[in-house]
Structure formats: structure tokens, C-alpha cells
């Protein structure tokens, strides 16, 4: 909810010193041992646990988040990820044997899991703990040093992280750089073992172009318009609960938030009715009460989202109330929206959910395929053929039936986009893998040349004949 950053930004000179310090630490092998990595992961869990209430208050300041939502969507989730990494890092880091082949078995071919170096992670405002500390856990578990540049749009949480990291973690291996575009630009001029960027596609293009100049490997976790295809015959009450929850969490400022609904035209009003009932169950005293429903992060985003709503040619079925001084936008359903509407022009990233009526599931699939591959695609149906038809004929980061958002919490499922919704995979083991170099290795014994000596020139006719 803040407009002016309250935090002190890191100077450009200090950024150069941080870069040099962490590279020295990496070369010195500070996180070579698994034991050293585990100490940092454990400390990170304590950082959150010991300061739980301070984090809750910071989230209320930045995003007006209900404290319970902060607890389970960010704090508990990140502590849980620390525990998983702490318990499994030995297994993840274990050298892997290559599959047996007769020709090379004697050379003992293996894959060594090695850190990439110093990782730079640039994170967004919307989940400023999970999306900042999640990559930190994976990078440290893999033995990398780590520089975090959190968002300047969530200054209370970013400032708290910057204050606590040096108290809990080793400053030779982890640093936080506070700042906006100038600081991020300076960071991106430097070479890194890996650059991990989470945010908008617009900035991702700048990040990738900068990374190309230093040949730093990049992963991008982006967003887009995640559709929801509703089968009119589905359990509408359950669907409405789960769609509304996905839309209203963090006031719609979630990368995998349902962005729009596609449903057969004659079922549109039934869907609206079910969503209204879900809304009334969630907010019996109205959503605008404090600690009931999140706020938009800043005035610029508030005006952007309100502008999309003001320009829609669709019909507001319910909601639509806004309050600029509070950066409040009510959960809003807009029906009868067409493909060329303002609400379909960009990722909404706010609590407005347009419904686009279609003739049938084929038209829904064609509508999705005419646009960028989304980060998530949701289908609500109890009909296996309906679900398979949508999943088998579209592309998206993930394909989720009968729920929203929860796939990010499932241990063992990667989170990643495809095409314009991102590249690379994260969460838990996948974050470890993202920041791990798979270093091929073998040790070839001299006696092998007695068996495979024919590889050496001269390439005689006799050798060719055998
Ligand atoms: P953003 O792109 O505006 O900012 C993200 C980060 O980039 C911030 O730290 C910011 O300081 C930095 N940045 C801004 N301009 C920059 C520049 N010119 N050069 C270098 N760095 C720059 O994104 P946001 O508004 O904070 O987040 C919202 C977006 O992030 C949405 O599109 C959302 O879908 C996406 N997102 C994706 C995921 C995911 O996991 N895929 C998660 C959360 C958010």
C-alpha cells in the first residue's frame, strides 16, 4: 500500500564491493560442505520464526494483507521449505551415477552436483518473503553465495529482510541489496553464476538483454493471463469457492491468480450467481473491513487496475467499488467480456475477474491458444474427457483441474512458465536444481586403450574393416 519507499537504498559503490566479497567467499569454498549450507538454511528458518509478528505487521503495511493469509501463504510456507531443504540437501547434492553402458562403465561416469557460483535474485512485491527467501534456500542448499534484490514496492517487508539477514546469516555468503531500477541496473552489469528474475515480462526482457552481455545464465518466473475453463456441468459451488479464493488471495496480486473465466454463454449467469454466493460466504461483513481483504500495492497499480475496469465494455455483475485513499478495489465480477476488452489487454493482477462467454469448449481452447502461453491453466469439470481435451490441446506452465493456486504448495511439483510466462523451474528440489551445475565427470583407466585403441589415428583400412 505504500507509495514512497521508506528504506535506505544500497549505494552503487557498495554493490561492487558486495559482488567482489561474495565471489571471494565462493572461491574460498565457504559453502563447500553440506554442514555449512545446513547452518545457513536453519538460520533462515529462525529468521522467520523469531520475527513472525514483525513480518505480519510489515505485510499489513505493504499490502494490507489479512494476517492469517500472510501466515500460511508466506511465513509457514517458507519455514516449511527450509525444513524440506534441511532434511534433503544431502540426497539432492549426492553425486549421481550415469546409466550403465558397457563401453564406459570402467570409466565410472558420474554427474557431480556443483554450485554455479554467486546467484543474483531479483524479486517482486507480491510475495516478498516466499519469492525472495525461497530462491535463497535453494541457492544456499546448492552451495552458492547469494545476492537478493527485493522489490522497492514492498519496502516494509524488503527492509525487514535486509535488516535481519546480516543478523542471522553469514554476510560473507548472503547479502541483500535494496533499491529500484538504478541499483538493479548496476547489479545486472556485473557477471553472475546465475540470475534468477521473478516479475513482469516487460522487465524480464531488460534482465535477459543485460544477462546476455555477461553471458550469465538466466531463469525467469513471470506471469500472464491464467484462464479458468468452467464446464457448465461441474460442481459449481466448489468451483466458485476455489476460483474466488484464488482471485481474492492477496487481492488478486498473485502470479497464478485466475485472470479470466471462459464458460458457455448459457451458463454464465449460473457461474456469476455461484461466485456471488462464494463471495458472501467469504466476506459476511463485506471485504473492505481491515484484516479482511488485501489492498493494492501502490497508487500507480491501483489506477492501472481501476483504469482497466473503467474502460471495460462488459457488465459489472457485482463489486466494482473502489477507494483510492485506501487503494481498495472490491472483488469484482464482470460478465459478457469480449476478447478485445480492456480487461483482456494485460494481466489484471488485481481482484477483478472477467467472464468471457464462449460457444463451447472448442472455442475456449481456440481463445487460449490465440494468446501467450499462461503460467497456469485451470479447468473445473468432473468429466475426464472435458479436462483431457483442454489440457491436451493447450500449453501453459501448469495444468490444474478443480482447484487454484494450491499446486505451488505441493512438494514435488515444479513451478515454472513456458514461453512468455517464464523459463526454468522452482520450488524446493527444483530450486536446488536450478542453481546447480551438472558437472559430467569420469576417470578413464589406461588399460581401456587395449580395448578401444582403434579410436586413435592412423585410421587404416584394417581398422575400418574391424
Ligand atoms: P516488476 O517486474 O515490476 O518488478 C520485479 C523486480 O524487478 C523488482 O525487484 C524491481 O525493482 C525490478 N525491476 C523493475 N524495473 C527494473 C529494470 N528496469 N531493470 C531491472 N530490474 C527492474 O514486477 P512486480 O510488479 O513486482 O511483480 C508483478 C509481476 O511479477 C506480475 O507480472 C506477476 O505475474 C509476476 N510474478 C511471477 C511469479 C512467478 O513465480 N512466476 C511470482 C510472482 C510474481
Tell me the average pLDDT of the chain: 97
Distances (CA, A) of 274 to 181, 268, 269, 319: 43, 10, 9, 14
**What CATH number labels 12-222+429-439?**
3.40.605.10
Spatial contact of 13 and 166, defined as CB atoms under 8 Å apart: no
Prediction ipTM score? 0.97
Rounded Cα–Cα distance for residues 134 and 311 (Å): 37
Distances (CA, A) of 427 to 44, 133, 430: 16, 11, 5
Q: Which of 221, 234, 248, 408 is catalytic?
A: 221
3-class SS of residue 171: coil
Q: Which of 82, 145, 248, 255 is catalytic?
A: 255
Place of cell 543485460: 210
The overall longest dimension of the chain from CA atoms, in Å, is 90
In this prediction, residue 464 has a pLDDT band, given cuts at 50, 70 and 90, of confident
Q: What is the pLDDT of residues 424-441, one digit of tens each?
A: 999 999 999 999 999 999
Strands 376-380 and 398-401: parallel
pLDDT of residue 7: 82
Q: How far is the CA of 153 from the centre of ligand 1 (A)?
A: 10
Q: How far is the CA of 125 from the centre of ligand 1 (A)?
A: 7
Q: What is the pLDDT of residues 300-327, one digit of tens each?
A: 999 999 999 999 999 999 999 999 999 9
In this prediction, residue 6 has a pLDDT band, given cuts at 50, 70 and 90, of low
| Cβ of residue 39 lying under 6 Å from some atom of ligand 1 | no
| Cβ of residue 404 lying under 6 Å from some atom of ligand 1 | no
Query: What's domain 227-416's architecture?
Result: 3-Layer(aba) Sandwich (3.40)
Of 177, 189, 203, the residue with max ligand 1 atoms within 8 A of its CB, to mutate for a pocket test, comes to: 203
Give domain limits for the chain. Answer: 12-222+429-439, 227-416
Q: How far is the CA of 199 from the centre of ligand 1 (A)?
A: 3
The number of CA neighbours under 13 Å toward the Cβ of 451 is 11
**Is the per-residue pLDDT at 2 higher than 50?**
no
pLDDT of residue 462: 87
pTM over 0.90: yes
Residue nearest to atom 39 of ligand 1 (CA): 221
| Cβ of residue 69 lying under 6 Å from some atom of ligand 1 | no
Residue 248 annotated as catalytic: no
| Cβ of residue 434 lying under 6 Å from some atom of ligand 1 | no
CA-closest candidate to residue 68, choices 250, 226, 274: 250
Q: What is the pLDDT of residues 195-215, one digit of tens each?
A: 999 999 999 999 999 999 999
CA-closest candidate to residue 139, choices 201, 179, 81: 81
| Cβ of residue 124 lying under 6 Å from some atom of ligand 1 | yes
Q: How far is the CA of 174 from the centre of ligand 1 (A)?
A: 21
Q: How far is the CA of 435 from the centre of ligand 1 (A)?
A: 20
The ligand 1 atom nearest the CA atom of 347? 32
Spatial contact of 129 and 44, defined as CB atoms under 8 Å apart: no
| Cβ of residue 225 lying under 6 Å from some atom of ligand 1 | no
| Cβ of residue 149 lying under 6 Å from some atom of ligand 1 | yes
In this prediction, residue 4 has a pLDDT band, given cuts at 50, 70 and 90, of very low
Rounded Cα–Cα distance for residues 145 and 136 (Å): 9
Residue 321 annotated as catalytic: no
pLDDT of residue 466: 75
Q: What is the pLDDT of residues 332-389, one digit of tens each?
A: 999 999 999 999 999 999 999 999 999 999 999 999 999 999 999 999 999 999 999 9
Q: What is the pLDDT of residues 93-147, one digit of tens each?
A: 999 999 999 999 999 999 999 999 999 999 999 999 999 999 999 999 999 999 9
368: cell is 487460449
| Cβ of residue 286 lying under 6 Å from some atom of ligand 1 | no
Amino acid at each position: 500500500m505504500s507509495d514512497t519507499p521508506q528504506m535506505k537504498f544500497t549505494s552503487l559503490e557498495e554493490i561492487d564491493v558486495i559482488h567482489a566479497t561474495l565471489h571471494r567467499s565462493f572461491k574460498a569454498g565457504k559453502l563447500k560442505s553440506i554442514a555449512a549450507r545446513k547452518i545457513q538454511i536453519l538460520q533462515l528458518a529462525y529468521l522467520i520464526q523469531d520475527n513472525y509478528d514483525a513480518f505480519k505487521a510489515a505485510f499489513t503495511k505493504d499490502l494490507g494483507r489479512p494476517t492469517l493469509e500472510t501466515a500460511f501463504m508466506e511465513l509457514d510456507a517458507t519455514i516449511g521449505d527450509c525444513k524440506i531443504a534441511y532434511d534433503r540437501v544431502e540426497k539432492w547434492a549426492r553425486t549421481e551415477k550415469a546409466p550403465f553402458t558397457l563401453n564406459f562403465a570402467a570409466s565410472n561416469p558420474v554427474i557431480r552436483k556443483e554450485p554455479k557460483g554467486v546467484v543474483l535474485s531479483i524479486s517482486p512485491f507480491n510475495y516478498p518473503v516466499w519469492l525472495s527467501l525461497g530462491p535463497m534456500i535453494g541457492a544456499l542448499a546448492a552451495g552458492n553465495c547469494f545476492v537478493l534484490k527485493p522489490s522497492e514496492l514492498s519496502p516494509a517487508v524488503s527492509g525487514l529482510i535486509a535488516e535481519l539477514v546480516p543478523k542471522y546469516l553469514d554476510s560473507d555468503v548472503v547479502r541483500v541489496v535494496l533499491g529500484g531500477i538504478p541499483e538493479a541496473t548496476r547489479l545486472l552489469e556485473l557477471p553472475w553464476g546465475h540470475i534468477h528474475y521473478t516479475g513482469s515480462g516487460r522487465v524480464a526482457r531488460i534482465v535477459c538483454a543485460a544477462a546476455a552481455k555477461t553471458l550469465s545464465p538466466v531463469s525467469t518466473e513471470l506471469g500472464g493471463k491464467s484462464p479458468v475453463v468452467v464446464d457448465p456441468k461441474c460442481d459449481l459451488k466448489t468451483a466458485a469457492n476455489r476460483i474466488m479464493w484464488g482471485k481474492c488471495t492477496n487481492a488478486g496480486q498473485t502470479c497464478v491468480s485466475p485472470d479470466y473465466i471462459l464458460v458457455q454463454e448459457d451458463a454464465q449467469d449460473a457461474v456469476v450467481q455461484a461466485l456471488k454466493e462464494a463471495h458472501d460466504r467469504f466476506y459476511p461483513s463485506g471485504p473492505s473491513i481491515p484484516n479482511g481483504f488485501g489492498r493494492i500495492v501502490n497508487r500507480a497499480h491501483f489506477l492501472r487496475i481501476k483504469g482497466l475496469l473503467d474502460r471495460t465494455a462488459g457488465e459489472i455483475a457485482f463489486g466494482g467499488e473502489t477507494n483510492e485513499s485506501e487503494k481498495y478495489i472490491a472483488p469484482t465480477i464482470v460478465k459478457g467480456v469480449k476478447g478485445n476488452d480492456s480487461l483482456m489487454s494485460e494481466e489484471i493482477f488485481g481482484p477483478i475477474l472477467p467472464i468471457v462467454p464462449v460457444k463451447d469448449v472448442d472455442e475456449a481452447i481456440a481463445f487460449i491458444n490465440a494468446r501467450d502461453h499462461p503460467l497456469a491453466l485451470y479447468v473445473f469439470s468432473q468429466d475426464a474427457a472435458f479436462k483431457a481435451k483442454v489440457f491436451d490441446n493447450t500449453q501453459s506452465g501448469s495444468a490444474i483441474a478443480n482447484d487454484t493456486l494450491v499446486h505451488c504448495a505441493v512438494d514435488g511439483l515444479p513451478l515454472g512458465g513456458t514461453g512468455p510466462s517464464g523459463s526454468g523451474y522452482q520450488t524446493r528440489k527444483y530450486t536446488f536444481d536450478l542453481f546447480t551445475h551438472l558437472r559430467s565427470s569420469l576417470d578413464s583407466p589406461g588399460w581401456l586403450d587395449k580395448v578401444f585403441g582403434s579410436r586413435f589415428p592412423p585410421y587404416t583400412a584394417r581398422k575400418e574393416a574391424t
